[in-house]
Amino acid sequence: MKDRLKIGVSACFLYPDASRAAFASKTLQYVEQSVPHWIMSGGALPVMIPSPVGETARGDVDFDDYAQWLDGIVLHGGSDVWPGSYGETPLQERWSGDRNRDEYEIALVRSFAAAGKPVFGICRGLQLINVAFGGTLYQDIGTQRPEALVHRDAVAYDLNFHDVAIEPGSRLDRLLASQPSRKINSVHHQGVKDLAANFAVEARCPVDGMVEAIRHTGKSWVAAVQWHPEFHKPELGTLDDAPILQNFLAAARAARTHHNTAV
């Protein structure tokens, strides 16, 4: 049997909805399949992490249990971040986000970082990581940065593209040095406003300077990209994100070795 890495994937939440045919009165947790498939492309086993808290919670499983068992975690896209998570009130009701998911993912980030396991964020995942470490967000780029590029087109969705400018000398620059393309998708209307302490920007949108990738500068392996690497395909002429995935999985492998040695 192959000694595959076990990578956690944070869940998205669907709440009770009377119009839904199945489980109308229940809270559902799920992942969008492209993310686990992207993780599988690196030979690792993705594992969705159900929240251990909530109105139906039972037993004594907690976030630290997941952080000890798994080798790393990927936070993927989805709902807006609740402005209250970074000390603001929603500018509009539709940007109220998902407070419950924020609390769940912030707890996961802290548990995995404390356990010395790598954390990688995608789109919302980047925003959540920035907030978890004390940063803030633009609630809506079009409203607060009207001069900015259109970063989310509801019709084009993951076929909305722009180039990315990678910071020279950054780890991301070294990982992608051989990549001929700098074309990425853009599927977000929120973004980093104030960068969290002990983080560095690794990439920006060359048109408006919006943050596109960040990395923790301390001992914790925490990194994120604003685009969706799981949506990139060679036939679209987009950036090949395989080196990013392999770097994350190498960190997970190193964390496993360190954890097993310590035990």
Catalytic residues: 123, 228, 230
Q: How far is CA 204 from the centre of its chain?
A: 16
Note the residue count of the chain: 263
Give yes or no for a contact between 107 and 63, defined as CB atoms under 8 angstroms apart: yes
Select from 119, 120, 127 the least CA-distant residue to 101: 127
DSSP one-letter code for 254: H
Q: How far is CA 89 from each of CA 104, 111, 182, 190, rounded to the nearest angstrom?
A: 20, 27, 35, 14
Q: Which of 127, 153, 126, 128 minimizes the C-alpha distance to 142?
A: 153
Residue in the block written with tokens 């009165």: 25
Q: How far apart are CA 241 and CA 55, in angstroms?
A: 39
Q: How far apart are CA 76 and CA 129, in angstroms?
A: 11
The DSSP output letter for 60 is S
Q: Which of 167, 177, 185, 172 is nearest to 232 (CA)?
A: 185
Which strand (E) or helix (H) includes residue 126? helix 124-132
Task: Look up residue 87 and give its DSSP letter.
Answer: T
Spatial separation of the C-alpha atoms in residues 6 and 47, rounded to whole Å: 7
